Amino acid sequence: MAELAEVETFRKELRNKICGQKIRKVWIRGSSLVFRDFPKRKQLPNMVEGKVIMAVGRRCKYLLIGIDRNLTLVIHPGMTGNLFLRERIAKRDRHCHMELYFRNFKLTFRDHRMFGRIFVLRNKEFTCFPGFAFLGPEPLSKEFNENWLYEKLSTRRAPVKALLLDQKIACGVGNIYADEACFIARISPLRQGRDLKHQDIERLVRAIKYVLKEAIKRGGTTIRDYRNPNGKLGANRPLVYGRFGKGCLTCGEKIYRTKVGNRTTFYCPACQQ
């Protein structure tokens, strides 16, 4: 499950490897659902072949590969998508959807459930593309602060966990890190947003930034599918997510599991109020 930390790991791993490299060949599985937002999918090879990769960036959970200053190849890994650096002669399987060939290696996008998305945007199209138009500030930016979050949560009846999954509020904070941040901030994910005091919001903002920075430092979190571009598992270990029935690492009480907004949620009922 690729969230902000995992996509940032993709960005960091790929930046030094593919920036400045010329795309010599592109292979795509034209019938793949990962191109569902890109009607011109069959034109993708002609659009990028022979061009040089100028930058590798990220916005929310989208990886942005800048090509010749005018085009951006956008990759959203979704729940099960991964990007791998491989030898040019490595065989592809039925779960491969795109391969970019460089001089001595290739970059493969693999997604066995096809929840990911791939499309190409001209730089002038970014402001009007639906996926980017309403995103909130990056959680690791100065704009994402206690004033911003208090304004967004203080009148809302929805559970805190559901609000943190709203990409207009906390873009890139997905299921794993919302649970982790609530645990570190000692806030129940079931509390209504309007019930949080300003000091609660301050703790929550600090916790969000902390869990994301720690996960990035450790190369992401592997629950099931995620691997970094070199095929390695993420080394980050959740404190509460996925630990149903196990003892809380703080107080020893058993971790509960419930659903918030149809998303599996883990929390400690003793530590989180």
Stated as kind and residue range, the H or E segment containing 83 is strand 81-86
Determine the 3-state secondary structure of 88 from DSSP.
coil
pLDDT at 129: 77
For 15-48, letters b (16+ CB in 10 Å) and e give eebbeeeebeebbbbeebebbeebeebeebbeeb
Measured distance CA(21)–CA(11) in Å, rounded: 15
* DSSP code string of 24-48: -EEEE-TT-GGGTT-TTGGGHHHHH
pLDDT at 132: 84
To 5 degrees, how large is the angle CA 125–CA 129–CA 133?
115
Domains of the chain: 4-133 (3.20.190.10), 146-267 (1.10.8.50)
Averaged in consecutive runs of 10 residues, what is the pLDDT profile of the chain (273 residues)?
Answer: 94 96 97 94 95 96 92 94 97 96 98 95 77 91 97 97 97 97 98 98 98 98 93 96 98 98 96 96
**pTM, two decimal places:** 0.95
Sign of torsion, CA 31 33 39 43? negative
Phi, psi of 105 (to 5 degrees): -160, 180
pLDDT at 123: 80
Determine the 3-state secondary structure of 75 from DSSP.
strand
